[in-house]
Amino acid sequence: MPDTANGHCVVAIAQMAPVWLDRRATLSKMAGRIREAGESGVRLLAFGEGVLPGYPFWLEHTDGARFESSLQKGLFSHYVDQAVDIAAGDLGELRAAAREAGVWVMAGCIERDRSRGYSVFASLVTIDDDGEVRNVHRKLMPTHEERLVWSAGDGAGLRTLDFDGFRLGGLNCWENWMPLARSALYSQGEDLHVAVWPGNLHNTETITPFIAREGRSFALSACSLLRREDIPGNAPHADMLRDTLPPVCANGGSCIAGPDGEWIVPPRVDDEVLLIAEIDRARVREERQNFDPFGHYSRPDVLELQVDRRRRSGVVISR
């Protein structure tokens, strides 16, 4: 059993296909992975971007930008209905599983905030081992066709958390290419970074070791799967989507790199799997000897970053 007091910790990635566009069934599947991780001694378990209830793969293949399309309106309506309302308790099953298993969880969720109407966000939710929601980071900028269904987030969730002696943070998908978003986490002492992706090797194989090497941190890239057979029969327009979407929309690519940028767990594709690794905080200290991005190698007299962490609502109501 790893000794977290001495800087050792077991982390894992649950590479899985959601029960696509079905929140309740996907929650149950994720809870099962959390329990499995707990039985394996895992302390932190990461899931892919938007795994709950699923990434909007239909947009690229069904003329998603067509204005006033009844097909697109219907799919969006279902997507919002299956999104996660945290305030309403939709994450209760995950929170209970995390508490019972003694596992921290970082999971990509399509989040609906009722104060913002019927718009949704691609959010990275962090739940601690007491089952408490510790952070909700809404993706700053949806990428390309994602903007047809996801709203732009804000900086409220650009935070790091103390976790078993590490400083834990994370970003959604292409946010990991944003230098200032990464820097916002590095500046808070991040040394364990979780990057969540919808899934595909081409997303993770180059940037994961880069982030690890740049931040001199451990980097986990968590991905999902979606194959034609993963589209459930009760999904809206299921037959049409099976005919229209490619055989494989997401092939995984989950992986873990160390603070030197070398693989601890190389990218894994095509199968549902729990990828487990033991990490040692001493490796961060060793690699920070010659480069510490917001320590001895920074120049705060020359370069300064400002981060606005207010939760934006678009309205200020005065009494």
Q: What is the pLDDT of residue 146?
A: 97
**Structure confidence by residue, pLDDT tens digits, 55-109:** 999 999 999 999 999 999 999 999 999 999 999 999 999 999 999 999 999 999 9
Q: How far apart (Å, rounded) are the C-alpha atoms in residues 292 and 307?
A: 20
Domain membership flag for residue 234: yes
Within a domain: 293: no
Residue the block writes with tokens 């566009």: 21
Cis peptide, bond prior to residue 53, ω within 30 of zero:
yes
d(CA 282, CA 223): 27
Q: Give domain status of residue 209, yes or no.
A: yes
In this predicted structure, what is the pLDDT of residue 3? 60
Catalytic residue among 9, 111, 139, 255: 139
CA 47 to chain centre: 6
What pLDDT does 317 receive? 82
- Residue 236: predicted pLDDT: 94
The DSSP line for 29-51 is HHHHHHHHHHHTT-SEEE--TTT
Q: Are 142 and 175 in contact (CB under 8 A)?
A: no
- Provide the domain count of the chain: 1
pTM of the predicted model, to two decimals? 0.95
- Residue 75 per-residue DSSP state: H
Query: What parts of the chain have a pLDDT lower than 70?
Result: 1-5
Residue 318 lies in a domain: no
The torsion region of residue 279 among left (phi > 0), alpha (psi -120 to 50) and beta comes to beta
**Quick check: is 311 in a domain?**
no
Burial code (b: 16+ CB inside 10 Å, e: under 16) for 37-67 equals bbeeebbbbbbbbbbbbbbbbbbbebebeee
Kindly state whether residue 309 falls inside one of the protein's structural domains. Answer: no
Task: Assign residue 101 the CATH number of its domain.
Answer: 3.60.110.10
| Residues facing 120 on adjacent strands | 112, 150
- 139 catalytic? Reply is yes
Report how far residue 76's alpha carbon sits from residue 148's, in angstroms, rounded to the nearest whole number: 9
Active site residue 49: yes
Residue 310 within any structural domain of the chain: no
d(CA 146, CA 178): 17
Residue 204 placed within a domain: yes
- What residues make up the domain containing 219? 4-287
Confidence at residue 2, expressed as pLDDT on a 0 to 100 scale:
52
Task: Round to whole Å and give the CA distance between 30 and 35.
Answer: 9
The Cα–Cα gap between 115 and 167 comes to 31
Q: Are 152 and 141 in contact (CB under 8 A)?
A: yes
Question: What local confidence, expressed as pLDDT, does residue 134 receive?
Answer: 98
Active-site annotation holder among 173, 223, 249, 255: 173
Answer whether 126's CB lies under 8 Å from 169's CB.
no
Q: Determine the pLDDT at residue 139.
A: 98
**What is the rounded distance in angstroms from the CA atom of residue 198 to the CA atom of residue 158?**
20
